[in-house]
Structure 1
Amino acid sequence: MYQIDDYDLKILTLLQSNGRLTNAELSELTGLSSSQCSRRRIALEQAQLILGYHARLAPDAVGQEMIGLIEVKLINHTPNCVATFHTMLENVDAIIDAFKTTGDADYLLKVAVANLQSLSELISQILAQNSSVAHLKTSVVLNRLKENGIMIPALPTTAGKN
């Protein structure tokens, strides 16, 4: 098991905020040499503590402006029922995050679709038709305030303007 020290934690935190940082930039921010940062980054990747590097896209850039949160309760938890549900999760691109949870729901899904009609179709034609699903509860996201640990800049308001 990889032992994370303070420098590794600093590198992970910096990369989480900006995955495009070069080893030279990491070096400047951590106080380590560029080669040390490179070795540590590679070790963190090999230990699977860094799972990948991704671009955070604006939802409207990919035509997925509507975000929904869907609580799912399964009919039962037999291996076949769970496998059927997991297979569906794997094959539906609109489901961008899926979490197994405690409480009333078994899973919480974050979905991204183009509009309310697309959300309705996802729910009625895919999720509700899955033989493992007993109950769905959907919430529509009105505003995205913070994602991936990063606050989303507030849009200027027009309140008080004539």
Structure 2
Amino acid sequence: MAQLDDYDLKILTLLQANGRLTNQELSDLVGLSASQCSRRRIILEQGNLILGYHARVSPDAVGLGMIGLIEVRLINHTSDYVESFHRMVAEQSAIVDAYKTTGDADYLLKVAVNSLAELSALISELVAGHRSVSHVKTSVVLNRLKENGLTIAAPAPLHQKSA
């Protein structure tokens, strides 16, 4: 992939905020013709700088309103243990993001489930019970403030009764 210029960076930024922009809308915002924007978008897609387009769906809409962050430490880092853990992560649909990290934990998993009971079962059966795992530490997300670089609307404040 050739060096990105200011037009490419602007296209990427605009599409990250709204992947539904047409080439004409994009061209109006970037200052290029629609055909130039289309060619640049195709080059960015083929160069794997645009990885896809998707709808941001509320977790509540699909019954996955509980988000958990699970720090995982492996017993050891032999290829057998690592590959086995990676396979489990790939096969488990409740794990929506997985990162190999530095620090105390080897991995950080973001999971989306329906309930606390489902989160507990996931931790017990798939993470803590997996032969590669030596330690887990879980945090439950109370409020999502920002995801994928986008601010999430703040929940309505709780009203307190006056005395």
TM-score, length-normalised on structure 1?
A: 0.97
Matched, 1:70 2:70: yes
Aligned to 2:81: 81
In 2: Cα distance, 1:42 partner to 1:57 partner: 26
Paired with 1:160 and 1:83, the residues of 2 have a C-alpha distance of 51
Note if contact 1:65-1:114 (Cα within 8 Å) is conserved in structure 2.
Answer: yes
Aligned counterpart, 1:119:
119
Cα deviation code 1:22-65 (max 9, x no counterpart): 00010010000000000000000000000000111001111000
Matches within 5 A, 1:13-162: 13-159=13-159
- Distance in 2 between residues matched to 1:67 and 1:74, nearest whole Å: 22
Equivalent residues, number: 162
Contact 1:2 1:47 in 2 (8 A): no
Contact 1:70 1:108 in 2 (8 A): yes
Give the alignment's TM-score, normalised by structure 2.
0.96
**1:10 to 2:10 alignment:** yes
Structure-2 separation of matches of 1:120 and 1:24? 48
Query: Which whole-Å CA distance do the structure 2 matches of 1:58 and 1:74 have between them?
Result: 32
Pairwise CA RMSD: 1.0
String of CA shifts for 1:3-34, please: whole Å, max 9, x gaps.
Answer: 11100000000000011110001001000000
Counterpart Cα distance in 1 of 2:144 and 2:53: 22
- Identity among equivalent positions (%) equals 69
- SS across alignment from 2:43: helix
After TM superposition, give the deviation of residue 158 of structure 1 in Å: 3.5
C-alpha separation in 1, matches of 2:139 and 2:101: 16
2:98 and 2:160 mapped to 1: Cα distance? 40
Q: CA deviation at 1:129?
A: 1.4
Separation in structure 2 between the aligned mates of residue 42 and residue 96 of structure 1, nearest angstrom: 27
Shift of 1:161: 5.9
Separation of aligned partners in 2, 1:132 and 1:158? 43
